[in-house]
Amino acid sequence: MTIKGYPTQEKTSAMEYTTVSPLGPQDHGLDVRNRSYYELDTGTVQADPTDVWIDTDFSETARKGDILHFVDGALEGLEVSILSVSGTELTIPSLGSLGLPTATDNIRLLRAKTPEVDSLGSIPVSVVIGYEEDTGDPVPAKAAYIGGIDDSGDLRGIATTTAGVLKSTFAAAPATTFPPESASIAGSDDLGVLRPVTVDSSGRLVTVIQSSALPSGASTLAEQQAQTTLLGTIDTDTAAMAGLLATIDADTGTMASLLGTIDADTGNIATSTASVAVDTAVIAGDTTSIDTKTPALGQAAMASSVPVAIANNQSAIPVKQSGYTSSALITHDHDSGNVTNAAYVEIDASLAAAVKRLHIFDSSGEGLILATGAASSEVDLLYIPPGGFSCPVDIDIAATTRLSIKALSTTTTVGTLIITALG
C-alpha cells in the first residue's frame, strides 16, 4: 500500500490526507509530532449521552483534538479524542460495545503541548526541594547521604540533631563514616573551580562570612549621627520651654488681677438684678390690670366686644360675593356622532380647570353615562337621565381630567348634549 502525502490538507476538502515535510533534496517524511498532554479542566457528565455526543460542565472551552478522560463510571480510564465542539456538547467517536457514560460521571479535559528542549536538545528539568517534619524514622538502607570534606581530606556526613537541625555549635557529635558509594556535595568558587563543601571533623559546616546585611533595626553610624542631632534639638527645645513657662507665670499673675476685677463687677451685677426684680413686680401688677380690661379671644356678643370704628378717611374696601366661575362649555351632537352602550365617546380630552358644579341638558331622549379617565380606563361618574338635570349637580372633578359618555341602553341618534361646568 502506498501512502499519499501532501504538504497541506488543501489537496481536497472531501478527504483528510497525511502531510509530509522535506527531509533532504530528494526525499520527504511523514509528519510526526511528539505531544504531551496536561490537565486543562475537570467536570462531570451533565446528561445521559448518545453514542457520539456528550454534554459537559467544563469551565474551560474544549477544542477539537483535545482528549476526554473518563475518571470513573462504566468507562473508567478510557480516553477518546474530541472530534468537534458545539457549546458544552462534545462529539466523540462511536464507543460501540464499550457502553456509555452516565450523568454525574467525573471526566477530565486534557490538552496537548509540544515538549520543549534547550539548545543542546536536552529536556529542562525543574527540581523543587521541600522540607518535611522529621518523624525520627530510620534512614532506608539505600538512602543517599550528604557530606563534606574535612581538613584531613576525609568525607564526613553533615551532622544534625535528633530533630534534623544542622549543628553549628561545638556540641560533641561523632564523625560519620560514609558508605563506599556515597557522593559529596560541591560548588564552584569565584574562579569557576569545582570545590567540595567543607566541614569540620564533627561534620559541622564551615562558613566564611565575607559580607552580611545588618538585621532589621540594627544601629549604624549614620543612624547614631542622626540621633546625636536629635538630642541637640531636644536641648534647644528644653531651653525654649523654660522661657514659655516663665511667660505663663507672668500671665497667671495678670489673670489673678482680672479675677479680682470680675468679683467686684459681679457685686454690681447682683445689685442691678435686685432692681430688675422690683421693676418686674411693678410690670406684673400693671399687666394684671390690663388683663381685666381685655376681652377673651373669639366671637362674643356686642356687649362683650371691643368697639371698632372705620376711619373717617377710609378708602373703599372691595367686597366680593362667593360663587362659581365657568370652567368648561361642552356640547355633543348626537346626529353626527351616535353614542352606543358598547364604547365611550370622548367629549372633553382635558378639563382646563377643576369643576365643582355641572348644569346638564340632553335632548336625545335616552339615558347616558358620564365617565372620567383615560381611554380604555374609564370610570363611570354619574347617570344622565333623558332630558338632563333640572337642577345643578355638585361634584368634584380635577383639572386635566378626560370626560366621556356612553349610552345607558339605547343608542342615541338625534339631539344635543349641553354641559356647563363651573368651578
Tell me which residue of 396, 385, 404, 401 sits closest to 422, measured CA to CA: 396
Does residue 80 lie in a domain region?
Answer: yes
179 or 257, greater pLDDT? 257
C-alpha cell at 215: 538585621
Number of domains in the chain: 4
Tell me how far apart the alpha carbons of residues 197 and 149 are, in angstroms, rounded to a whole number. 6
pLDDT of residue 286: 66
Q: Which of 113, 129, 163 is the C-terminal boundary of a domain?
A: 113
Does residue 41 lie in a domain region?
Answer: yes
Does residue 362 lie in a domain region?
Answer: yes
Tell me how far apart the alpha carbons of residues 348 and 372 are, in angstroms, rounded to a whole number. 10
Does residue 208 lie in a domain region?
Answer: no
Is the domain of 67 the same as that of 24? no
pLDDT of residue 274 exceeding 50: yes
What would the pLDDT profile of 326-379 be if each residue is shown by its tens digit?
999 999 999 999 999 999 999 999 999 999 999 999 999 999 999 999 999 999
Is the domain of 71 the same as that of 19? no
Does residue 402 lie in a domain region?
Answer: yes
Q: Supply the range of the domain harboring residue 400.
A: 326-422
What would the pLDDT profile of 222-245 be if each residue is shown by its tens digit?
777 788 788 888 888 888 888 888
Is the domain of 20 the same as that of 45? no
pLDDT of residue 396: 95
* Cβ-contact 42, 70 below 8 angstroms: no
Is the domain of 43 the same as that of 104? yes
Helix (H, G, I), strand (E, B) or coil at 49: coil
CA dihedral 278, 284, 285, 290 (to 10 degrees): 150
pLDDT of residue 23 exceeding 60: yes
* Cβ-contact 351, 421 below 8 angstroms: yes
Give whole-number Cα distances, 56 to 86, 101, 274, 416, in Å.
11, 12, 98, 76
Torsion sign over Cα 223, 227, 232, 233: positive
pLDDT of residue 199: 74
Tell me which residue of 399, 352, 402, 360 sits closest to 383, measured CA to CA: 360
pLDDT of residue 175: 46
Q: DSSP string spanning 243-310?
A: HHHHHHHHHHHHHHHHHHHHHHHHHHHHHHHHHHHHHHHHHHHHHHHHHHHSPPSS---GGGS-----
Is the domain of 333 the same as that of 414? yes
> 123: number of CA atoms within 13 Å, CB side?
6
pLDDT of residue 84 exceeding 80: yes
Is the domain of 169 the same as that of 155? yes
pLDDT of residue 9: 53
Q: Amino acid letter at 41?
A: D
Q: DSSP string spanning 105-162?
A: -EEEEEEEE-----TTSPPP------------PPPPTTPPP-EEE-TTS-EEEPPB-T
Does residue 224 lie in a domain region?
Answer: no
Tell me how far apart the alpha carbons of residues 402 and 349 are, in angstroms, rounded to a whole number. 5
Q: For residues 266-288, give the mean pLDDT.
A: 72
Tell me how far apart the alpha carbons of residues 206 and 170 are, in angstroms, rounded to a whole number. 12
Instruction: Work out whether strand 28-30 and strand 36-44 pair parallel, antiparallel, or are unpaired.
Output: unpaired
205 or 413, greater pLDDT? 413
Is the domain of 338 the same as that of 409? yes
418: domain CATH number? 2.60.120.40
